[in-house]
Structure 1
Amino acid sequence: MEVGAVGAMRYVKDGIKAAKLVMLYTEHTMLVGDQASAFSISMGLPGPSNLSSTESMEKWSKWREDQCQPNFRKNVVPTNSCGPYHRKKDVILGERTHLVDDDVENILMKSSHVNFHNHDTISMTIFDKSGHIAVGTSTNGASFKIPGRVGDGPIAGSSAYADDEVGACGASGDGDIMMRFLPCYQVVESMRLGIEPRLAAKDAISRIAKKYPNFVGAIFAVDKNGTHAGACYGWTFQYSVRGPNMDDVEVFTVYP
């Protein structure tokens, strides 16, 4: 039950190390933004650093040339430009307020920018010789996100969760959707009730897919005895395992 996290952090390359510093040297759970960067640098991490690359700058320039499309805006005008953006006109219907053209369109658009071509989340679980379990997740976040966005990576119970008495879970996918369900917390609690990892992972994914049929995501689950499994939706997922008696990792493929 020790947790450290950082979000919306710039200028520091090693986000996972920064999260560990929060866990080890503060009584907080999460630090965000430039103050998270300042804390990390003050605790010995290199920075401030320019983390832009030629590839990322070219990607950003092309996105700007394409009128900042795609992006994660909704219910705003203009829809095909780089802004500034304004809310669509509200329509009053009885005692309810609706935004024009919103409900069905927004449900269909969920996860439209998340797929295996633009995803970079790494989630890992480690067992030590004493049976203690640690988990960690690191990600650059969604491409073309709105500045200030924090996804599921640093949210305990969403992208990762562990309990020495039960097991652990890691997740990847559409973080804006997944964090609403805390799927890894759900997996660990299901395993606590005696549900095997395969069914626990499948159940957590199914709960999300039932509400968001266009969602893209995956989960791996491992119990305290080392039994592991994965579940996914919207893509074919792979995870790797290495045990103390193995010479190399073994890759497992999970199909939707």
Structure 2
Amino acid sequence: MVINTWSFFVANEEAWRILNLKKGGIGQTRDAVVGGISECERLQCHKEVGYGANPDERGDVSLDALVMDGSTMEIGAVGDLRRIRSAIKVARHVLEHTHHTLLVGDGAADFANAMGFPNETLNTAETTAMTQNWTEHNCQPNFWRNVYPDPKSSCGPYKPLNSWDEHASRNDQVELGPDNHDTITMAAIDEEGNIHVGTSTNGLRHTLPGRVGDASIPGSGAYADNEVGAAVATGDGDVLMRFLPSLRAVEAMRAGKTPAQAVESVIQRIRKHIDRFEGALIAVDRFGNYSAACHGVVYLKQSFRFIVSSPAYPNQPTRREVVKCTTVLKETPSELDRQVIW
């Protein structure tokens, strides 16, 4: 089985092709995850994975990625990776050629060079145009709070306010969805129950330079354990990483919950503390049973799409599935009506 977040057919089909090669062995699920996600990076899936698009405030693109082996619990990850396009392959090299788990920034790029990866620009003409348009619109939206001048109407430079308002939320005009999301996360399971998970992202638009999202944080964007199963997440990484949703889902299944109960319990756990977030979570147990749940801040009903490849439908092994999200409805700009929609 191969499952990945969002409607990235090409990634899933490539992973499924690799998984069904005859060589077998634990390495095959690793090859499938890395191969499938690499295809998405190469093709810039929806311009949200791989090089290009989604620049930070300075107009530069950086990448995060992770690979985890559910048999050994080993992880390789990179964060804020610049000048290298194959983020998921660099993450694999961290797993296979170091005793570390996570490399970031210039050190990650230097390591990639040592492993034979060439320097390539991650920026494109689209990246430049996106940055210029954002600047012309007073740098809206952005990820600052408790600073002056007012980040909701100014580009800065910013200084901290003397008094800190714990209720000051970030400028939340950014909403994730089919046309604005930032991560592919994938799980692959073979016939012997070997599991690998992987992630790759070029981050949200206009974040602060140096920001690392949830994709490269073990237990947040993805987690795997051959004894139990796996989980993969996507959404507002700065919220999700506070709760380690993938780890929580796997541990919930270890405690006896079904995949459906596991993902629902994690989403509700986050909602208990934060109503306004965008996030989706998929859990699959070691037998191939799976379920997804999601939550959004939307004006209309929102659904989450993901791709599954399995032998369950021989005539259509790769297919799109959809789950409706719990939501927070905005009735008017001044009136917030919290409801659950299924």
Q: TM-score, with normalisation over the residues of structure 1?
A: 0.91
Which letter maps to 1:241?
V
Task: State the alpha-carbon separation in 1 of the partners of residues 172 and 74 from structure 2.
Answer: 31
* Offset from partner CA, 1:158-193 (integer Å, 9 cap, x none): 010000000000000000000000011000000001
Of 216, 227, 238 in structure 1, the residue corresponding to residue 278 of structure 2 is 216
Partner of 1:196: 258
Unaligned runs of 5+ in 1: 91-98
Of 71, 96, 103 in structure 2, the residue corresponding to residue 31 of structure 1 is 103
Of 164, 167, 171 in structure 1, the residue corresponding to residue 226 of structure 2 is 164
Asked if the contact 2:264/2:293 (under 8 Å) is kept, the reply is: yes
Q: CA deviation at 1:118?
A: 2.0
* Offset from partner CA, 1:3-33 (integer Å, 9 cap, x none): 0100011111111111111000000000000
Of 128, 145, 160 in structure 2, the residue corresponding to residue 87 of structure 1 is 160
Task: State the alpha-carbon separation in 2 of the partners of residues 250 and 125 from structure 1.
Answer: 15
1:59 aligns with 2:146: no
How does 1:75-224 map onto structure 2 within 5 Å?
A: 75-79=146-150, 80-90=153-163, 99=164, 102-106=165-169, 109=170, 112-116=173-177, 117-224=179-286
Asked if the contact 1:110/1:215 (under 8 Å) is kept, the reply is: no
Of 82, 94, 112 in structure 2, the residue corresponding to residue 40 of structure 1 is 112
Task: State the alpha-carbon separation in 2 of the partners of residues 156 and 18 from structure 1.
Answer: 16
Which letter maps to 1:139?
T
Which letter maps to 2:174?
H
Task: State the alpha-carbon separation in 2 of the partners of residues 188 and 111 from structure 1.
Answer: 30
Q: TM-score, with normalisation over the residues of structure 2?
A: 0.69
Partner of 1:237: 304
Asked if the contact 2:183/2:200 (under 8 Å) is kept, the reply is: yes
Partner of 2:336: none
Task: State the alpha-carbon separation in 1 of the partners of residues 132 and 86 from structure 2.
Answer: 25
SS at match of 2:186: strand
SS at match of 2:246: helix
SS at match of 2:284: strand
Which letter maps to 2:95?
M
Which letter maps to 2:121?
N
Partner of 2:289: 227
Partner of 2:76: 4
Q: Describe the shift of the 1:18–1:230 C-alpha distance in structure 2 as closer, same or farther (beyond 3 A).
A: same
The answer to which structure, 1 or 2, has the higher relative contact order (CA under 8 A, 6+ apart) is: 2
Unaligned runs of 5+ in 2: 1-72, 297-301, 326-342
Task: State the alpha-carbon separation in 1 of the partners of residues 191 and 106 from structure 2.
Answer: 37
Which letter maps to 1:177?
V
* Matched residues, number: 243
1:250 aligns with 2:313: no
Identity %: 44
Task: State the alpha-carbon separation in 2 of the partners of residues 228 and 58 from structure 1.
Answer: 40
Task: State the alpha-carbon separation in 1 of the partners of residues 105 and 236 from structure 2.
Answer: 21
* Offset from partner CA, 1:198-232 (integer Å, 9 cap, x none): 11001101111121101110000100000011000
Asked if the contact 1:2/1:23 (under 8 Å) is kept, the reply is: yes
Asked if the contact 1:158/1:183 (under 8 Å) is kept, the reply is: yes
* Offset from partner CA, 1:31-63 (integer Å, 9 cap, x none): 000110111122122x31111112111111101
SS at match of 1:134: strand
Task: State the alpha-carbon separation in 2 of the partners of residues 207 and 111 from structure 1.
Answer: 21
Q: Structure 1 stretches (4+) deviating beyond 3 angstroms?
A: 109-112, 244-248
Task: State the alpha-carbon separation in 2 of the partners of residues 224 and 25 from structure 1.
Answer: 28
Q: CA deviation at 1:83?
A: 1.9
Q: CA deviation at 1:236?
A: 1.3
Asked if the contact 1:169/1:220 (under 8 Å) is kept, the reply is: yes
Asked if the contact 1:123/1:136 (under 8 Å) is kept, the reply is: yes
Task: State the alpha-carbon separation in 2 of the partners of residues 111 and 200 from structure 1.
Answer: 28
1:74 aligns with 2:136: no
Instruction: Give the superposed CA RMSD.
Output: 1.4
Task: State the alpha-carbon separation in 2 of the partners of residues 118 and 128 from structure 1.
Answer: 32
SS at match of 2:217: coil
